[in-house]
A and B are shown apart, each in its own frame.
Chain A
Amino acid sequence: MNVKEKQDLQCYSTLGNYLWRDPPQESKWADCVHCGMCLESCPTYEQTGEEQHSPRGRVYLIKAVAEGKLDVDEHFASPVFSCLDCRACTTACPVDIDVGGLIEEARGQIRQAIPLKGWKGAVNKFFLHGVFPHHNRLRSLGGLLRFYQKSGMQKVVRKTKLINIMPQHLTEMESIMPEVKGSIRKKFTSEIKAKSETKHKVAMLTGCVMDVFFSDINESTINVLTRNGNDVSIPKNQTCCGALHVHAGDREMGRKLAKQNIEAFENEEKVIVNAAGCGCMMKEYSELFRDEPEWKERAEQFEEKVVDVSKYLHDTGYEKPKAKMNMRITYHDACHLAHGQGVRKEPREILLDIPGVEMVQMPNADRCCGSAGIYNITNPEMADAVLKSKMENVPDDVEMISMGNPGCMMQMALGVQKYGRNQKIVHTVQLLDWAYQKEEGDLNDVSY
């Protein structure tokens, strides 16, 4: 740390044993009355029964550090990093305690107190700083993967049992890695016009992972938006939303990315997002700027513009497709859509508006699948236990599971494969897009 950085640090206030900039806020836990109404909503409490791995326990420990009763050390890090940041507790809590927000702030402190060392640190840094924020590098990595998939290397790796050398959970992930597809940001360099009369002008977040691995969903998003009277622009300077960084405790990088996005979308009226995790993060940018009033204000204005694609379509109106799709599906609530943004009914209504779609209710549909950003990579055992209970709730007789978040899509795909199920995993806008395409005769048989 150089002298300037040290000086910068000193001008921020600290709190109890939180010694770094941007500590967990007292106002966030002040309302917690220790009632325990949140316990059963928490997947990690369900798995362990341990109260320090429950929302109430986590809030209590975070508060204890501020009161000087605990130190910021590895013991404290364990319950803080075992949290999925799934926000189910906030939904259950009678006073809306923002446990996720507290957790992110506490992680920020932990990462400054005990920076990751060794290979974990290196891998973290490589991905979080070196890859995700850089669209081109993520693409080249994606390209490498595509080469790997297309060149037959994948077959070789699988055949030669090279795969057995990788840690178990990475092996499992490898087998469900979606195919890398052509980037939307490469394909559409200027505004895409509404198919008929222009009613609204919107901008779209392409997302980092989304645009490499799920660009077909981005394409579907553009299709359904333009079909419903929206001119869609894709601002060039946009970058990764920063959710992965903030979840990992790297709030500094989170702030950097947030600023870039706030600037990139400055002149736009609406920012349409099709990844729940990104939308939720972007709707909370102002939390990152509590000590930078000017940016805080800009962030608050930005948050107002951010909206999930399903909610946007629902609120501004969309054409009901006419072609019949004939399928039985179920819907999984992404945590950062249902608990994080309160979007529950909108995607369901869209799905029900597709003729021939029969919806089967999934019990505990808003229970986390264990994906939680990169949680499934950092806490594989817990993620897997959570995934297992999720899969037990997936109805037997459905052909597809629809949802609104790429992280969940990968995790659920893993679940389908691992537990011998046969459902297809789809994004809500994809289904709508397919229905429109079928109506126009572009799609004879759904090619999913």
Chain B
Amino acid sequence: MMSVIRIDTTDKHIINLASIVSGARSILYKKVDLLAYDCDGFTIHKHLPKAVVFPKNTAEVSQIVKYCSENKLPFLARGAGTGLSGGAIPINGEVIISMVRMKKLISVDLENRQAVVEPGFVNLKLTNSISDKGYYYAPDPSSQYCCTIGGNVAENAGGAHCLKYGVTTNHILGLEVVLPNGEIIEIGKNGVLDEPGYDLLGLLTGSEGTLGIVTKITVRILKNPEGKQTVLAYFDRVEDGSQAVSDIISAGIVPAALEMMDKTAIEAVEAAAFPVGHPKDIEAVLLIEVDGIAAGIDEQINQIVKVCKKRNVREVRAAKDEEERGRWWANRKTGFGAMGAISPDYLVQDGVIPRSKLPEVLRKIAQISGESGLRIANIFHAGDGNLHPLVLFDARKPGEIEKALEAGSQCLKACADVGGTITGEHGVGIEKREEMRFVFKEEEILAQTNIREVFNPDNLLNAGKLFPTPGRCVEIKKEMKA
């Protein structure tokens, strides 16, 4: 099954692409092979790609891109396909350039605390490869067991521990990128931060695969904290839970992570594969982790416990050992997938709100849930105000997809209305294109598509993502030109 594929098609593009990426099974073009690529972690839109190619190095990526661009074939990059906003879905029948076979850890430089990886290298593997030497890679999206660092760069992924250490963009020191015309460029050479000139690294990180294809990444690695401790706190009222979050931060503690789940989310994680015995009748659970110099940790834990008690916590306790800590985190980190245990389908939203507005927004979300007749669970990176409402629905029931999309959109509106925004870490993709209008005026969107045009003039690379329907923007542009 690993043998070379015989190409039995007359499609000249397939034949030509196959000749670029020679080697074992490096192009897929039959329906049964393509079907698994018709969506990613966002399953509401589906479309078959024209083909999937598996380059092994930057030169091959560049040649594929050049071929596509010369022949006006739409194309996009795909990592592990865990994206939640549809960024890797080939809605225009793209040629998918799968980065997963470029998965080497190229080098580790402990002295300068950096590592160089290929884009298909899986997030968690980086920490696993350096942990014995006392180092780790900080951005830890819940999907870190499987998602690629290339995909993390594209989505500017965050994670539970990004509260203290920052999201992906704070850990990227350099990129090698293949531009949509096939040209290979390098930005942020030698891992020197703050190069003079425009911050292209910042622009590329989070561009959702619309400006170029990342083929090599230099990341910052950190020394393991001397100690860490995790606390679990159960609240009977959401208000108390969110007030406790604010109090912890105002007390000057910067936890490494500060997570919250509401009642419906608790029901799901307890029904799924990694239950830890959370009580079913509480309204909120907080998971709080502090790390740093061993000597200061107990003091911080005491302070956190005190704050929680002041806010009427029902029960608060620290993990008794590493095993228990691990179980708490596995329970939390598999939270999205756990929705499968209580609902056939779910749609995860990704709003950001000022922490103080949480009770208000949760009330609004409960109202949206009531009106739509769909249950909504909430998982919350409480420390940085990144809220994930999970709309539960059943795609087999006619009309439910539309209802779920509408409810999700209203949740984002609720976030935008209190001064927040529509994505914290999952990106806009296909899913939130229209919702961009909640936070940007038409001209602001246009300014951004103008930037895209500099990199991606023919809009062949991952078209139709990130910004609302181009039609309207183009019209405006014409008007402005006129």
Query: Contact residues of A with B, CB < 8 Å?
Result: 30-40, 47-52, 54, 56-57, 60-61, 64, 69-70, 75-76, 78-79, 82, 92-97, 379, 381-382, 385
Contact = CB atoms under 8 A, between A and B. Distances in A.
Contacts of A69: 35
A94 B334 CA distance: 6
Contacts of A79: 32
B77 interface: no
B22 interface: no
Which among B98, B103, B146, B341 has the highest number of chain A CB atoms within 10 Å?
B146
Contacts of A64: 35
B340 interface: yes
B345 A51 contact: no
A97 B273 CA distance: 10
Given A94-B340, A382-B2, A50 B28 contact: yes
Contacts of B101: 49
B360 interface: no
B35 A82 contact: no
B33 interface: yes
A64 B32 CA distance: 10
24 contacts: A30-B344, A33-B337, A33-B339, A34-B40, A35-B41, A35-B336, A37-B143, A39-B80, A40-B145, A48-B25, A49-B103, A50-B54, A52-B35, A54-B36, A70-B35, A79-B32, A94-B335, A94-B338, A94-B341, A95-B272, A379-B1, A381-B1, A381-B2, A382-B2
A61 B36 contact: yes
B202 to A, nearest CB: 27
Interface in B58-97: 80-82
B477 interface: no
Contacts of B80: 36, 39
Contacts of B189: none
A129 to B, nearest CB: 26
Question: How would you classify the secondary structure of chain B's contact residues: helix, strand, loop or mixed?
Answer: loop
Contacts of A75: 30-33
B146 A33 contact: no
Interface string B1-40: 1110000000000000000000001001011110111011
B137 interface: no
Nearest to A40: B146
Contacts of A381: 1-3
A37 B1 contact: no
Given A30-B344, A64-B35, A94-B337, A82 B146 contact: no
B32 A52 contact: yes
Given A31-B341, A36-B82, A51 B274 contact: no
Interface string B40-66: 110100000000101000000000000
A51 B340 contact: no
B183 to A, nearest CB: 26
Contacts of B340: 31-33, 94-95, 97
Contacts of B81: 36, 51
Contacts of A95: 272-273, 337-338, 340-341
A53 to B, nearest CB: 8
Given A48-B2, A70-B35, A94-B338, 9 more contacts: A33-B346, A34-B40, A50-B54, A61-B32, A61-B35, A93-B273, A95-B273, A95-B340, A385-B2
B93 to A, nearest CB: 17
B120 interface: yes
B146 A39 contact: yes
A45 to B, nearest CB: 9
Interface in B139-167: 143, 145-147
B100 interface: yes
B428 interface: no
Nearest to A90: B273
Given A40-B146, A60-B36, A76-B32, A35 B25 contact: no
Nearest to A64: B35
B122 interface: yes
A34 B120 CA distance: 19
Nearest to B123: A40
A34 B88 CA distance: 14
Contacts of B145: 37, 40, 92
Nearest to A82: B1
Nearest to A77: B32
A37 B339 contact: no
A65 to B, nearest CB: 10
Contacts of A51: 36-37, 81
B55 to A, nearest CB: 11
A94 B43 CA distance: 17
List 6 tightest A-B contacts by C-beta distance, closest first: A94-B337, A57-B36, A94-B334, A95-B340, A49-B100, A31-B340
B273 A96 contact: yes
Contacts of A30: 344
Nearest to A53: B1
A50 B30 CA distance: 13
Which among B32, B101, B341, B344 has the highest number of chain A CB atoms within 10 Å?
B32
Contacts of B52: 50
Interface in B202-234: none
A378 to B, nearest CB: 10
Which among A33, A48, A96 has the highest number of chain B CB atoms within 10 Å?
A33
Contact of B143 (A35, A52, A93): A35
B319 to A, nearest CB: 20
Contact of B146 (A37, A48, A49, A385): A37
Nearest to B339: A33
A48 B3 CA distance: 11
Given A48-B2, A95-B272, A34 B334 contact: no
Which among B1, B81, B98, B273 has the highest number of chain A CB atoms within 10 Å?
B1
Nearest to B344: A30
A50 B49 CA distance: 14
Which among A32, A49, A382 has the highest number of chain B CB atoms within 10 Å?
A49
B54 A49 contact: yes
Contacts of B37: 51
B146 A70 contact: no
A93 B120 contact: no
Nearest to A78: B1
A37 B341 CA distance: 15
Contact of B1 (A39, A60, A382): A382
A40 B122 contact: yes
A357 to B, nearest CB: 23
B39 A34 contact: yes
Contacts of A97: 340
Contacts of A54: 36
Nearest to B274: A94
Given A33-B340, A35-B41, A95-B340, A47 B2 contact: yes
Interface string B226-245: 00000000000000000000
Contacts of B54: 49-50
B300 to A, nearest CB: 31
A52 B36 contact: yes
A52 B48 CA distance: 13
Interface in B317-347: 334-341, 344-346
Contacts of A47: 2
Contacts of B335: 94
A443 to B, nearest CB: 37
Contacts of B2: 47-48, 381-382, 385
A35 B122 contact: no
